[in-house]
Amino acid sequence: MTTKQIELNGSLVITNSGTNTKPVALGVGSTTTRTYEQVLTDQDEISTTGGVTGGVFQDLACVSQLSEILFLYIKSDNSIIVRLYAVPASALATSGTYPTGFVGGETLITTIDGVAVTTTFTNGAQTLDQVVNEINASMALNGIASPRAVASNGQLLINGVSTAVGASGDGQLSFAGTGAAQLGMDAGSSPTITDAQGQDVAKAGLYLDEFPSSGSLAPTAVQISGTATIDVVAAGRS
């Protein structure tokens, strides 16, 4: 696989009751270079809905080509909010049983980003795919962007919309209803529920961050809110 490199060198001189000089370098020790599977650059005009910074976020298209982001540089001509780890809440069942045996009238009440959506199943919701289709139809009828439900390794997976935890239940999922246990989504079934992961950083001018190349600390998604012209350099795993 072809590798790409970013090199940064020089020093940062701080004068505050004496002079303190710190190296400005990528890599480890005196190394000024880090190697990545992919390095991407972009210039973009962003204007999220209404122009209210922090109200609406959009995906940073440049980084969507990376599976893990290890280096991120954003230069902006205006105040913006950078949302790191912009991943919505998710709930994965571990003990759903199919065919469901539903006779019609069973329910799954999904509270998604503070909105309660009731799916009332028909007697045709027997397979996992049929359950997924009926949940997504209910989401769409309630104005929730769909699909939110998918099949994952033979179990039901439901994803939220908001990418950060906020007021009124934004970025969180919970479940109730007479069909929840059969689908593995009630509390007694212990589905794996994860809140939205987004972390917001307000920036104007230059933003630069490096993330660990091991473990789970590297972001997989980034969003932006505001109105600005931005230059982006993103590097990491493709």
SS3 51: helix
Which amino acid is located at 222 in the chain?
V
What H or E segment, with its residue span, contains residue 134? Answer: helix 128-141
pLDDT score of 163: 96
Q: How many residues does the chain have?
A: 238
Cβ atoms within 10 Å of 82's Cβ, excluding its own: 23
pLDDT score of 55: 80
pLDDT score of 126: 98
Look at residue 74 and tell me whether its pLDDT is greater than 80.
yes
Q: Which has the minimum average pLDDT: 57-61, 135-139, 151-155?
A: 57-61
101-112 pLDDT per residue, tens: 999 999 999 999
**108 close to 119: Cβ distance less than 8 angstroms:** yes
**175 close to 91: Cβ distance less than 8 angstroms:** yes
Question: Which pair of tokens denotes residue 30?
Answer: 């005196």
* Rg, C-alpha atoms of the chain: 22
Identify which of 219, 166, 208, 235 has the alpha carbon closest to the alpha carbon of residue 59.
219
Q: Where are the beta strands (DSSP E) in the chain?
A: 4-7, 11-15, 19-23, 33-36, 38-47, 58-59, 68-84, 90-92, 107-112, 115-120, 149-152, 155-159, 173-176, 192-194, 199-210, 222-237
Look at residue 2 and tell me whether its pLDDT is greater than 60.
no
Query: By percentage, how much of the chain surpasses pLDDT 70?
Result: 95
pLDDT score of 52: 65
φ, ψ dihedrals at 168, nearest 5°: 60, 30
Three-point CA angle 45, 76, 234, nearest 5°: 85
209-219 average pLDDT score: 80
4-86+198-237 fold = Jelly Rolls (2.60.120)
Residue 121: pLDDT band with limits 50, 70, 90: very high
47-72 average pLDDT score: 86
59-74 average pLDDT score: 92
Which residues, 6 or more positions from 188, have their beta carbon under 8 angstroms from its beta carbon? 181
**222 close to 82: Cβ distance less than 8 angstroms:** yes
pLDDT score of 21: 86
Please give the span between the terminal C-alpha atoms of the chain, in angstroms, as a whole number.
10
pLDDT score of 48: 87
194-212 average pLDDT score: 93
Burial zone of 51 (CB within 10 Å; 0-12 exposed, 13-18 middle, 19+ buried): exposed
Q: Compare 30 and 136 and report the one with higher pLDDT.
A: 136
Q: Compare 26 and 233 and report the one with higher pLDDT.
A: 233
157-192 pLDDT per residue, tens: 999 999 999 988 999 999 999 999 999 999 999 999
